[in-house]
Amino acid sequence: MRRSAPRTLISLLVGVVAAFGGAGCGGPATPGSSLDPADRINVVTTSAVFADLIRNTGGERVAVTNLVPNGADIHTYQVTPEDMRAIAAADLFVMNGLGLDDWLEGTIKAASSDKMIVRLAPDLPGVAPLPGETAATQNPHLWLDVTYAGGYVDRVAGGLKAADPDSAEAIAATAAAYTQTLADLDAWVRDQIVTIPAENRRVVTFHDALPYFARAYGLTVVGVAVEAPGQDPSAGEIAALIDAIRASGVRAIFSESQFPTALMDQLARETGTTVVANLYTDTLGAEPVTSYEALIRWDVEHLVEALR
């Protein structure tokens, strides 16, 4: 899933930054904010999921722009001139890292920005590696384990305090309140998953987005359909996955709303399983999936419905 923007595109966009200069392109104000827009910390991030975590961590003290539109694929996104305008105006950058959105870091460096970058996932305290993982191959989707999302909040809070030391106390209070919200959410997920019979807690996913979620909440990922978005499996790989589905008694296979369903439909026809193709992992969506908490609740409700 590692990628970088082509040099010709980066060169073009760096020129756009020069043309725009420091023109403002802040994200939307927090609803009900009493602060002047000029007094908020202008944060650029890669996904609406991370943008929501940032808003809930910083409250009215932040204005957030997420670059990747809802429904687009964060793994393969190409920055636009409008994105570069937002980058030029930012006070702070927040990205996941671990290959998910490393294109942002390359673009920032190409634009000669010396502003602070918060990398949420690499070396996150408390994270135990998955079997067979190394630092170079670590899966990037840590935030789908809600306890690890709490670690993201800690890192965001640290970046916001560094960007605006005068607001450090207020940011700490907002972050602490949101951390408790996430702790309550984590407990709710566990209560829901235990209602699935143990023999049904096996899943197949479109791409490898759920290993941390599965480990945290007692599911087993039997297999994935594609190694990474945009990489089609071979006929042999499809046949092996079909055999694994049949052998393990998987009841449902899961995909996210932004990906095509043709391959998942083929797997379902071959194995007699159910396709659930409206999960969210890397992106938010329309109502009601408009926040990180709503994403987790939506996915868990659909997982439980399909497996129970």
Rounded alpha-carbon distances, angstroms, from residue 59 to 106, 177, 281, 286: 29, 11, 23, 22
pLDDT of 252 > 70? The answer is yes
Give the highest mean pLDDT range of 23-37, 112-126, 247-261, 288-302: 288-302
Summarize the confidence of residues 103-112 as an average pLDDT: 85
pLDDT level of residue 34 (50, 70, 90 thresholds) = low
Which residue reads 């659930």 in tokens?
276
Mean pLDDT, residues 247-267: 93
CB 250, CB 222: distance < 8 Å: yes
Please report the pLDDT score of residue 258 as a whole number. 86
Q: By mean pLDDT, which of 138-152, 161-175, 222-236 is the weakest?
A: 222-236
Angle at 298 between CA 171 and CA 78, to 5 degrees: 70
Letter for the amino acid at 30? Answer: T
Query: Which tokens hold the place of 32?
Result: 């009900």
Between 295 and 36, the more confident residue is 295
Band (232; pLDDT cuts 50, 70, 90): confident
Angle at 239 between CA 98 and CA 204, to 5 degrees: 45
Segment 121-146, tens digit of pLDDT = 999 999 999 998 988 899 999 999 99
User: What average pLDDT does the structure give for the chain?
Assistant: 88
Low-confidence winner among 99-103, 108-112, 192-196, 281-285 (lowest mean pLDDT): 108-112
Strand duo 116-119 + 202-205: pairing: unpaired
- The letter for the amino acid at 163 is A
- The more confident residue out of 114 and 47 is 47
pLDDT value of position 33: 55
pLDDT of residue 149 exceeding 50, the answer is yes
Torsion of CA 47, 48, 50, 55, to 10 degrees: 140
User: What mean pLDDT is predicted for residues 8-25?
Assistant: 39
8 Å CB contact between 160 and 171: yes
Domains and CATH numbers, the chain: 7-186 (3.40.50.1980), 194-307 (3.40.50.1980)
Is the predicted pLDDT of residue 76 greater than 60, yes or no? yes
Mean pLDDT within 188-210: 96
Does residue 179 carry a pLDDT above 80? yes
Question: How far is Cα 167 from Cα 196, in angstroms, rounded to an integer?
Answer: 44
| Mean pLDDT on 93-113 | 90
Whether this prediction's pTM lies above 0.85 is answered by yes
- Region of 57 please: left (phi>0), alpha (psi -120 to 50) or beta: alpha
User: Is the model more confident about 16 or about 93?
Assistant: 93
User: Buried (b) or exposed (e) across 169-192, using 16+ Cβ within 10 A?
Assistant: ebbeebbeebbeebeebbeebeeb
Confidence of residue 14 (pLDDT cuts 50, 70, 90): very low
Q: Distance between CA atoms of 57 and 51, rounded to whole angstroms?
A: 10
| Cis peptide bond N-terminal to 288, omega within 30 | yes
The continuous run of DSSP H or E covering 169 comes out as helix 168-193
Phi and psi dihedrals of 244, rounded to 5? Answer: -65, -40
pLDDT at position 21: 39
Q: Give the pLDDT confidence score for residue 102 in this predicted structure.
A: 93
Query: What mean pLDDT do residues 171-178 have?
Result: 98
Question: Does the structure show a pLDDT above 90 at 39?
Answer: no
What confidence tier does 54 reach under pLDDT thresholds 50, 70, 90? very high
pLDDT for 260 beyond 90: no
